[in-house]
Amino acid sequence: MKINILKRMEYSSIVILFVIVFSSTLGVYANQKTDLKNEQNNIDKQIQETNSEIAGVKSQMTDALNQINKYNSQIGTYENEIGDLQSQISTLKTQITQKQTNIEEQQKKYKEQQELLDKRLVAMYESGTTSYLDMLLNSDGLADFISKYYIIEQLTEYDTELLKNIEETKNQIENEKKELETSKQEVETSKTAVETKRNSLTVLVNEKNTLVGNLSEEEKALQAELEEFEQDKKDIQRQLAAIAAQEEAERKAALAKKNANSSSGSAATATPSAPSTSGYICPLSGKSRGSITTGYYGYSGHTGVDFACSSGTPIMAAKAGKVVTSTALKRPNGTYKSYGEYIVISHGDGTMTLYAHMLAGSRTVSPGAEVAQGQVIGQVGSTGNSTGPHLHFEVWVNGRRVNPTQYLP
């Protein structure tokens, strides 16, 4: 009996030991699996981030270049704000000119009305003390009485209307003058803001130039590439802002004439996703906002979102519209720069979409072409300031870039 008990204890100990060892092994294996999974996720993330023009450049950037890049972003912000303020000043000046013209017209009208009133008063004075009642009492019969009564009624209405018009004109002049003074004050406030921002801009430019002067040759070469890209972005922004302004004027003219424009196309299409609440589809089949590998970051200069994918993947029009740009940005030596091969589509409602870094020779539409939603316009590539195949996608509203994420399904 004692031996059986000992044997049972021995067997139990072996089982317990086995369970401990096995559990420990499983724990180690689970930890290794978790570590491997995390490592794989990190690798995947690095691969995705590498397929972005901004990430590709940043991997080579020193602290000095990062600081310069921030300066460039701040400089761009100040320049945009100064541009907005100058536009505001221009609009206010136009309003001031219009108000001054209105005041002059109202003052002229007031003068004419006042002269008419003066003439009426003089006429009444020269007629003596004869009142309207005397005129009625001196009537020669009923017909003359009725005629004089009608004349008196008309004169009374005329005088009342004249006095009313004079008072309204006087009030309108006073209101116009107040609005004029307000507009003038707004102009002065905007001018002060412009001066303040220009001073801040000068400080930033000087600080940036100091850093640039201390860069190594390798850093200077990379900085030149970044500057080139930023300049191209500004040029594109000016071009698209001008197009947006022109289209806005055309939309207003079309609305005034009540002309409805419609277009349709029978070009090749891929398999689009369901449109977002804004009416957009993702420009890549099977993708959505959850597929974005590099987001929209104003401070870093990344002015759109990126989708990492295989070279040659079809790119679709996110929404129906008209192609306003279809070109390739190249240096004098023929090498691609900035956006490389890219397309811009205007959607006729103040919005535009931009598709960049497309495969060389893959663009299938030209400026002026009408495209349908889902129509294939080119293929994913890596032309320009890019380190791997991906689509750089931007959304513009009234000539300014916005975060595309809100427009994607």
Tell me the average pLDDT across 78-87: 83
Task: Please indicate, yes or no, if residue 85 is contained in any of the structural domains.
Answer: no
Tokens of 176: 């116009």
Does residue 398 belong to any structural domain of this protein?
yes
CA dist., res. 235 & res. 238, Å (int): 5
Whichever domain contains 319, its CATH number is 2.70.70.10
- 178 & 284 share domain: no
Residue 56 lies in a domain: no
Q: 153, 187, 209: which is the final residue of a domain?
A: 209
**Residue 216 zone, left/alpha/beta (φ > 0; ψ -120 to 50; rest):** beta
* pLDDT above 90: residue 9: no
SS3 content of the chain, % helix, strand, coil (to 5): 60, 15, 25
* pLDDT of res. 95: 83
8 Å CB contact between 320 and 372: yes
> Taking 70 as the threshold, does the pLDDT of residue 337 lie above it?
yes
* Rounded Cα gap, residues 347 and 283, in angstroms: 14
Distance CA 357, CA 72 (A): 22
pLDDT of residue 355: 97
- Of the three residues 175, 209, 243, the one that is the final residue of a domain is 209
Average pLDDT over residues 198-221: 85
Rg, the chain, Cα only: 38
Total domains in the chain come to 2
Same domain, 140 and 263: no
Q: Is residue 60 part of a domain?
A: no
Task: Say if residue 141 is in the same domain as residue 252.
Answer: no
Q: Is residue 32 part of a domain?
A: no
Q: How far apart are CA 35 and CA 31, in angstroms?
A: 6
Task: Name the token pair of 114.
Answer: 């006042």
**Which domain does 178 fall in, by range?**
91-209
* Residue 65 within a domain: no
Domain's final residue, options 185, 209, 233: 209
What pLDDT, on the 0 to 100 scale, is given for residue 294? 85
Q: Which two tokens stand for residue 157?
A: 């209405």
CA distance 404 to 394: 6
pLDDT at 271 over 60: no
**Residue 94, both tokens:** 């136009």
Q: Do 191 and 223 have their domain in common? A: no
Q: Is the pLDDT of residue 147 over 70?
A: no
What is the average pLDDT score of the chain?
76
d(CA 94, CA 369): 37
Strand partners, 394: 354
In this structure, the answer to whether residues 95 and 184 fall within a common structural domain is yes
Please report whether residue 84 resides in a domain: no
Residue 4 located in a structural domain: no
Indicate if 252 and 363 belong to the same structural domain.
yes
C-alpha to C-alpha distances, 68 to 65, 81, 170, 212, 221, nearest whole angstrom = 5, 20, 59, 8, 13
- Stretch 314-331: mean pLDDT, rounded? 95
Give, as one character, the DSSP assignment of residue 334: S
In this structure, the answer to whether residues 284 and 186 fall within a common structural domain is no
The mean-pLDDT minimum among 79-83, 267-271, 291-295, 335-339 falls in: 267-271
Predicted confidence at residue 297, as pLDDT, reads 72
Between 329 and 57, name the one with better pLDDT.
329
* Domain co-membership, 187 together with 230: no
Tell whether 246 and 204 lie within a shared domain: no
- On whether both 199 and 230 belong to a single domain, the answer is no
Q: How many other CB atoms sit within 10 Å of the CB of residue 161?
A: 10
Same domain, 294 and 377: yes
What does the pLDDT look like over 347-384, one tens digit per residue?
Answer: 988 899 999 999 999 999 999 999 999 999 999 999 99
378 and 241 in a common domain? yes
Least confident of 123-137, 160-174, 219-233, 357-371: 123-137
Look at residue 3 in the predicted model and tell me its pLDDT: 38
